[in-house]
Chains A and B, each alone.
Chain A
């Protein structure tokens, strides 16, 4: 689900622009009625399909005994570690590479420019075919990766989904493959928005190459980088598709993340409340991230 939702990073900062008070000045009588009429349809959808499910989830997971069960279960502890690894490594490696690559795509060479549209393909592609293909590349001797290993180097490739570490790594690599282009494009757009005079002034003062990066680009993009990392973390904690299609939790549920574990509890083990409790246990992490995100959106010490 989080798939193309990523695009919406764009609109987020709309929230903290100064509001135009002119709208509110003379709004009474029929104006107010129209205002309400405009709001009602969305408000209805919002309450029926967002507020109600959230309330229902909290109600389903209200029993403290559920959390005692979870903590006692070794599968849950392992899943928490997997989620932390998947999110921590996946998001940070992806963001760092995206920042670096956005600088690479700024170069004025025809082959660099020609690479950009190709590089965007994973973002344009729906997640399902991409992850199904990753699953098949790594399926073992029949997969493309092991086929290549034996054809090029004559070595027998590993069984990727029989080993927890390899399977977890496969999930992370597939995740980075799918989502890195989007964030690269975001940083690329931000870099192109930096006025050229700033670079020139910095070059006069002797800041070129890596110095330009640390003293000019990084301070300007720092807050954006933070906001993007936090948003991406939020979406990745809820990522279901990657793990459910690439490793499918193999071997033996040992690479499941919270979203897929909740699903197993709810639909394979017929314990929906336990499933909801499993995903709700991520709230103590989610809420601070949301708060930091709001703060990061408020601070705009660097404005171009």
Chain B
């Protein structure tokens, strides 16, 4: 009798100890994830904090080793927006150049990419070549070729290069997406007497809308963020784009750094906004092919 009670007591104690050790373990695990989250946030935000810090400095106060802005000033942002410094005389022009190139690349990537849906297999293997050649390796011949074509300092040279580099992705996404449209749709349209361009315009385009958004976003961001080709091909002040202007700041020793960082922040804002607006879509595009290892 008493042994049974003792056993029962022992068992309860053991189970409560197991319980508390389980709780402790869970607590530690939560603490661990919390610490790791904090580390990730600090690691991610440090360079961004640095940008904001420098951009908020009043002019002439940049070369000091403090870690908080002492006299925060938004003068630099104002200066950029009003083109108030000689480095920034053409800010809006450059901004418009960036935008123009971005939109043109988007347009053509969509145009060419869409055209691929039906017969893509013919060229998609060739397009893969564009994937695997690092773009920077073609920069020097490209520069020469553009000089020969007489397109130096012309935004169209950059547009051409970026369209060539953005299209393979468009082709793959549209192919992938086109596969989900049943063949019967096409056959029944054909029976009703639709010609290929009609099938294309009336049936495919409306059905492909989500893929169009994904590819459009991709192409726009690609063109907006690209640096090397713009740096190479656009060197005059009126034709250059914002990233090239930013890099120009670095090449001098006496640039207004607060203006540079303010420019950088203004330049970075649109892609970040677009990214977060279309995050779901872009992630969906990623899962579309990515997970099928």
A contact set with B: CB distance below 8 Å? 1-5, 7-15, 17, 19-20, 22-23, 30-31, 34-35, 38-39, 41-43, 45-46, 48-50, 52-54, 56-57, 60, 101, 104, 107, 109, 111-112, 114-115, 117-130, 132-137, 141-142, 144, 146-148, 150-151, 177, 185-186, 189-190, 192-193, 220-225, 227, 234-235, 237-241, 245, 248, 259, 262-263, 266, 272, 275-276, 279-280, 282, 286, 290, 293, 300, 302-304
Question: Which one of B44, B47, B65, B288 contacts A142 once the chains associate, using CB atoms below 8 Å?
Answer: B65
Q: Are A224 and B115 in contact (CB under 8 A)?
A: no
Q: Are A19 and B67 in contact (CB under 8 A)?
A: no
Q: Are B293 and A227 in contact (CB under 8 A)?
A: yes
Q: When A and B form their complex, what is the total count of cross-chain residue pairs whose Cβ atoms lie within 8 Å?
A: 332
Q: Is B126 an interface residue (CB 8 A)?
A: yes
Question: Which one of A12, A39, A101, A130 contacts B119 once the chains associate, using CB atoms below 8 Å?
Answer: A39
Question: Which one of A4, A42, A224, A286 contacts B116 once the chains associate, using CB atoms below 8 Å?
Answer: A42
Q: Are A133 and B50 in contact (CB under 8 A)?
A: yes
Residues of B contacting A4 in the complex (Cβ-Cβ under 8 angstroms): 218, 221-222, 225
B contact set with A: CB distance below 8 Å? 30, 33-34, 36-37, 40-41, 43-51, 53-54, 62-67, 108, 111-112, 115-116, 118-119, 121-145, 160-161, 163-165, 167-169, 171-173, 175-176, 179, 183, 195-197, 218, 221-222, 224-229, 243, 246-247, 249-250, 257, 260-261, 264-265, 267-268, 271-272, 275-276, 279, 282-283, 285-293
Residues of A contacting B115 in the complex (Cβ-Cβ under 8 angstroms): 38-39, 41-42
Residues of A contacting B291 in the complex (Cβ-Cβ under 8 angstroms): 189-190, 193, 224, 304
Q: Are B44 and A282 in contact (CB under 8 A)?
A: no
20 CB-based A-B contacts, threshold 8 Å: A10-B286, A13-B289, A39-B116, A41-B115, A42-B116, A42-B167, A53-B141, A101-B40, A115-B40, A125-B268, A129-B246, A133-B51, A177-B43, A190-B290, A193-B291, A234-B132, A238-B136, A259-B137, A263-B136, A286-B132
Supplied contacts A54-B129, A220-B293, A240-B136, 12 more A-B pairs, CB within 8 Å:
A11-B175, A14-B172, A14-B289, A46-B164, A57-B141, A118-B45, A122-B44, A128-B243, A136-B261, A142-B63, A241-B227, A300-B293
Residue of chain A at shortest CB distance from B173: A11
Q: Are B283 and A234 in contact (CB under 8 A)?
A: no
A80 and B169 CA atoms in complex are apart in Å by: 30
A56 and B275 CA atoms in complex are apart in Å by: 36
Question: Which one of B122, B132, B136, B225 contacts A39 once the chains associate, using CB atoms below 8 Å?
Answer: B122
Q: Are B227 and A128 in contact (CB under 8 A)?
A: yes
A225 and B43 CA atoms in complex are apart in Å by: 24
Question: Which one of A144, A189, A238 contacts B50 once the chains associate, using CB atoms below 8 Å?
Answer: A144
A237 and B135 CA atoms in complex are apart in Å by: 10
A263 and B143 CA atoms in complex are apart in Å by: 11
Question: Which one of B33, B67, B292 contacts A148 once the chains associate, using CB atoms below 8 Å?
Answer: B67
Q: Are B290 and A35 in contact (CB under 8 A)?
A: no
Q: Are A9 and B267 in contact (CB under 8 A)?
A: no
Residues of A contacting B226 in the complex (Cβ-Cβ under 8 angstroms): 1, 3
Q: Are A147 and B67 in contact (CB under 8 A)?
A: yes
Q: Are A11 and B65 in contact (CB under 8 A)?
A: no
Q: Are B137 and A282 in contact (CB under 8 A)?
A: yes
Q: Are B218 and A126 in contact (CB under 8 A)?
A: no
With A126-B267, A302-B293 as given contacts, are A19 and B121 in contact (CB-CB < 8 Å)? yes
Q: Are B65 and A147 in contact (CB under 8 A)?
A: yes
Q: Are B64 and A142 in contact (CB under 8 A)?
A: yes
With A10-B290, A50-B129 as given contacts, are A279 and B137 in contact (CB-CB < 8 Å)? yes
Residues of A contacting B282 in the complex (Cβ-Cβ under 8 angstroms): 7
Nearest 10 A/B pairs, CB to CB: A238-B134, A11-B172, A224-B293, A129-B264, A124-B275, A8-B169, A1-B135, A49-B164, A126-B225, A56-B141
Residues of B contacting A300 in the complex (Cβ-Cβ under 8 angstroms): 292-293
Residues of B contacting A185 in the complex (Cβ-Cβ under 8 angstroms): 283, 286
Residues of A contacting B221 in the complex (Cβ-Cβ under 8 angstroms): 4
Q: Are A118 and B287 in contact (CB under 8 A)?
A: no
A119 and B44 CA atoms in complex are apart in Å by: 6
Residue of chain A at shortest CB distance from B130: A50
With A4-B225, A42-B112, A147-B65 as given contacts, are A130 and B271 in contact (CB-CB < 8 Å)? no
Residue of chain A at shortest CB distance from B249: A132
Residue of chain B at shortest CB distance from A176: B43
Q: Are A38 and B119 in contact (CB under 8 A)?
A: yes
Question: Which one of A7, A148, A222, A275 contacts B140 once the chains associate, using CB atoms below 8 Å?
Answer: A275
Q: Are B225 and A3 in contact (CB under 8 A)?
A: yes
Q: Are A107 and B33 in contact (CB under 8 A)?
A: yes
Residue of chain B at shortest CB distance from A248: B250
Chain B nearest CB, measured from A176 CB (Å): 10
Residue of chain B at shortest CB distance from A3: B225
A3 and B265 CA atoms in complex are apart in Å by: 18
Residues of A contacting B46 in the complex (Cβ-Cβ under 8 angstroms): 137, 144
Residues of B contacting A130 in the complex (Cβ-Cβ under 8 angstroms): 47
Chain A nearest CB, measured from B37 CB (Å): 4
